[in-house]
Amino acid sequence: MNRNAVLTALQTAVLDGDQHETGRLVQVALADGSPPEKILSEGLIPGMQRLGELFKDGHAFLPEILISVRAMSRGLDELRPHLSGAATPDNGTVVLGTVEGDMHDIGKRLVGMLLEGNGFAVVDLGVDVSAEAFTEAAREHSADVVALSALLTTTTPQFRTVVEALSVAGLGETVKVMVGGAPVTQALAADVGADGFAPDCVTAVDEAARLVAVRRGT
Amino acid sequence: MIAFSRQRFREICHGERLGDFGILGNPIHIFWPETLPAWVGQGAPKSFAEVSEQDYGTPSPVDDFFAFDASRPLAEVHSGMDAGTEMYEYVPGVSAHNHSFLAAPPYEPRVIAEDERSLTVVDSAGITERLLKNKAYNMPTWLEHPVRDRRTWEAFKKRLDPDTPTRYPADWSGYVERINALDCPVSMEVGGFFGYINMWVGTEPLMYLFYDDPLLVEDMMDTILHLETRMIERVAADIHLDWVWYWEDMAYRSGPMIGPDMVRQYMLPRYRKLNEVVHKAGVDVIYLDCDGNIEQLAPLWLEVGINLWWPLECASGMDPVALRKKYGSEVILAGGLDKRELMRDKASVEREVMSKVPYLVETGPYFPSPDHLVPIDMPFDNFCHYINLLRQIRGDQPLDFSV
């Protein structure tokens, strides 16, 4: 198999969620002398991007997302020791958590996994996270985006509390805030002063990328 | 006013009484456990503080106060979420829903760790979860589920025997006599092929399992099929059922967790088998409770005879009027009134109710309710106003809700 064929096969392995084949093909590509950056940008990431398209078109669902993220993660584990610092994926840093008083975890975890699979650095603060903790983490990690999750209508008011806390801390102009969760809508996001909103975990990746681009002026 | 007889219920469900509808309690109007006690401070009767979810429909002070039409879930038959459990207070003032999700006997609920802010507990389904101590009622973070592999599944499976005596009231003949004497629609839970497994295994592990060990998923589904078949046959041999109730919760705001192909492969054959048993029992109203956006799932359910859908969550893009236009009167719709609008103010309540309910009841079978459980941030006055609007549409006298 030539180098390009290996990269194409790698895309398919990620898309199929075949973690063992993904790991094996990364090793093959490295042994063939493919640059690690190229394996990442032309093998692994296009596989994830194609999966995102299938999800948006209603042809892929959570099981397919999760096994592909697992395969991507396996590929990155193989690749990481060979990547130079400059080539490490740097699509942005996202501080992620479920707001104070809300213990819901699943949707937020899926968003985190997909962000990591798409080259974002993710700081997952867990559930029941205070506005102060979001603010401290955003400052400590120089976050591009703070992503807030809430399941309940009773906890969505915490979105505004976090937005205000970031503003008071002087981070309102530099850190972008995106929100999501079962009762959350674009209108609610605008109402609480968030910069972005995502209705699902795949769209959350696009929205985070958009906000990072806005923040970095790229 | 015509009493809400089982005949009237059936005629409504069959589209033979256009314009008529039921204002039913459980399992159509259901309240989060903290809602009813909170309403006591807003003018509701003091008895609301003591009502549990299993009470209403049996009947309870809530059914009486809102004049819900009589409807009788067989809460004492443990073929669904609860096997004699429900809310549990782990320490004074800290409670959580405590469904056993078909496990009988249920696990012994207990606290296994505690810190300043939270409790870590094991619930009646064997799920390890974290609860906040500063909240009277908790929606927990699930930490570990009881089924993690084939070994733990074999252990859990021992709690899924349909003939476990505690699944049925001890005085069965007396119970049968009491239920059959009622002239109101009687319902029974009949499990579900995704929702329960999701709780036993956990969402992420289950998603992997569909690819890593599909035979294990099939074994779990077949175990449910066996349990529910046996229980329906046993109950229906003595009790006149009018409707049955699946709980799935397999969708979120954008769509289903698993795709239609997977539903078709794993679930439809088992729905078909179970619904044959249901039909043989003379029941053709098959209710399915699934939150989130069900657009891609609904036609599949209809294919196997699941014809009553609740709660139709508006925040997930569900619109009962659009569903009626798409599916006609073949489908019995329930819910679909945007709780966010019902919570806002009385004018919003009127807009939401009047823009949907008259159309829906004139064009087919519909049971109105908010688009999920009634939350604590629903003002009591708004809910009373909502009930009286429904009564007005039905031509009933308004109720006086002053206590």
What is the set of domains in chain A, with CATH numbers? 3-87 (1.10.1240.10), 93-216 (3.40.50.280)
Report residue B13's pLDDT band, with 50, 70 and 90 as the boundaries: very high
Tell me the chain B residues in contact with residue A66 when contact means C-beta distances shorter than 8 Å.
204, 207-208
Q: Which of B190, B176, B155 is nearest to B78 (CA)?
A: B190
The minimum CA-CA distance between B132 and chain A, rounded to whole Å, is 8
The answer to whether residue B165 scores a pLDDT higher than 70 is: yes
Report residue B1's pLDDT band, with 50, 70 and 90 as the boundaries: very low
Report residue B55's pLDDT band, with 50, 70 and 90 as the boundaries: low
Q: Is the ipTM of this complex over 0.85?
A: yes
Euclidean distance between CA atoms A152 and A107, whole angstroms: 13
Mean pLDDT of all residues in chain B? 93
B120 touches chain A (CB under 8 A): no
What pLDDT does B94 receive?
85
* Inter-chain touch A63–B343, beta carbons under 8 Å: no
Q: Would you call B326 helix, strand, or coil by DSSP?
A: helix
Strands (E), A99-202: 121-124, 145-149, 176-180, 196-197
Residues A171-198 have pLDDT tens digits of 998 999 999 998 888 999 999 999 999 9
Report the residue of A153, A188, A202, A206 to disrupt the B interface, i.e. the one with the largest count of B CBs within 10 Å: A153
In chain B, which residue's Cα lies nearest the Cα of A101?
A: B132
Euclidean distance between CA atoms B98 and A218, whole angstroms: 50
Residues B229-238 have pLDDT tens digits of 999 999 999 9
A114 touches chain B (CB under 8 A): no
Q: Mean per-residue pLDDT for B330-357?
A: 97
The answer to whether residue A116 scores a pLDDT higher than 60 is: yes
The predicted model scores a pTM of: 0.91
Euclidean distance between CA atoms B38 and B29, whole angstroms: 17
B376 touches chain A (CB under 8 A): yes
Out of B210, B257, B375, name the one closest to residue A154 (CB): B375
**Partners of A96 in beta bridges:** A124, A147
Out of B140, B315, B375, name the one closest to residue A185 (CB): B315
Euclidean distance between CA atoms A161 and A150, whole angstroms: 13
Residue B92 burial (CB count, 10 A): 6
Dihedrals phi, psi of A122, to nearest 5 degrees: -120, 130
Sign of the dihedral through C-alpha A60, A65, A70, A76 = positive
Tell me the chain B residues in contact with residue A102 when contact means C-beta distances shorter than 8 Å.
139
* Inter-chain touch B339–A153, beta carbons under 8 Å: yes
Q: Would you call B21 helix, strand, or coil by DSSP?
A: coil
Residue identified by tokens 């213990």 is A103
Q: How many helices (H) and strands (E) does chain B have?
A: 15, 16
The answer to whether residue B19 scores a pLDDT higher than 60 is: yes
- Contact call for residues A150 and A185 (beta carbons, < 8 A): no
Q: Which two tokens stand for residue A74?
A: 């396996």
A25 exposed, middle or buried (CB, 10 Å; 0-12, 13-18, 19+)? Answer: buried
A186 touches chain B (CB under 8 A): no
Task: Tell me: cis bond preceding B260? Omega within 30 of 0 counts.
Answer: no
Residues A131-149 have pLDDT tens digits of 999 999 999 999 999 999 9
Q: Mean per-residue pLDDT for B143-152?
A: 97
More confident residue, B268 or A215: B268
Mean pLDDT of all residues in chain A? 92
CA dihedral B306, B310, B312, B316 (to 10 degrees): -90
The answer to whether residue B139 scores a pLDDT higher than 80 is: no
Euclidean distance between CA atoms B379 and B342, whole angstroms: 9
Residues A15-71 have pLDDT tens digits of 999 999 999 999 999 999 999 989 998 999 899 989 989 998 989 999 999 999 999
End-to-end distance of chain B based on CA atoms, in angstroms?
Answer: 23
* Inter-chain touch B132–A101, beta carbons under 8 Å: yes
The answer to whether residue B130 scores a pLDDT higher than 90 is: yes
Query: Most distant CA pair in chain B: distance in Å?
Result: 59
Out of A17, A153, A184, name the one closest to residue B375 (CB): A153
What pLDDT does B93 receive?
83
A75 touches chain B (CB under 8 A): no
Contact residues for A179 (Cβ-Cβ < 8 A; gap 6+):
A147, A148, A149, A150, A156, A159, A188, A189, A192, A194, A196, A197
Q: Which of B195, B200, B1, B165 is nearest to B83 (CA)?
A: B165
What pLDDT does A151 receive?
85
Q: Mean per-residue pLDDT for B76-80?
A: 93
* Inter-chain touch A63–B207, beta carbons under 8 Å: yes
Euclidean distance between CA atoms A79 and A74, whole angstroms: 9
* Inter-chain touch B292–A182, beta carbons under 8 Å: yes
Single-letter residue type at A128 = D
| H helix intervals, B247-375 | 260-262, 268-280, 298-303, 320-327, 339-344, 346-363
Percent of chain B with pLDDT over 90: 81
Q: Mean per-residue pLDDT for B303-319?
A: 96
The answer to whether residue B57 scores a pLDDT higher than 90 is: no
Chain A 24-63, CB below 8 Å of chain B: which residues?
58-63
- For residue B295, give the DSSP letter: T
Q: Which of B78, B198, B213 is nearest to B146 (CA)?
A: B198
What pLDDT does B96 receive?
83
The answer to whether residue B59 scores a pLDDT higher than 70 is: no
What pLDDT does A14 receive?
96
Q: Which two tokens stand for residue B126?
A: 């064997």
In chain B, which residue's Cα lies nearest the Cα of A185?
A: B315
Residues B257-304 have pLDDT tens digits of 999 999 999 999 999 999 999 999 999 999 999 999 999 999 999 999
Q: Mean per-residue pLDDT for B386-391?
A: 98
Fold of the B6-77+168-394 domain: TIM Barrel (3.20.20)
The answer to whether residue B394 scores a pLDDT higher than 50 is: yes
Q: Which of A94, A91, A111 is nearest to A184 (CA)?
A: A111
Sheet holding B186-189, edge to edge: B72-73, B186-189, B243-247, B286-289, B308-310, B332-334, B366-367
B211 touches chain A (CB under 8 A): yes
* Inter-chain touch A103–B130, beta carbons under 8 Å: yes
- Contact call for residues A71 and A19 (beta carbons, < 8 A): yes
Tell me the chain A residues in contact with residue B292 when contact means C-beta distances shorter than 8 Å.
182
Residue A24 burial (CB count, 10 A): 17
The residue ranges of every structural domain in chain B are 6-77+168-394
**Which H/E stretch holds residue B96?**
strand B94-97
Euclidean distance between CA atoms A86 and A141, whole angstroms: 18
- How far is CA B173 from each of CA B54, B82, B180, B240, rounded to the nearest angstrom? 21, 22, 10, 14
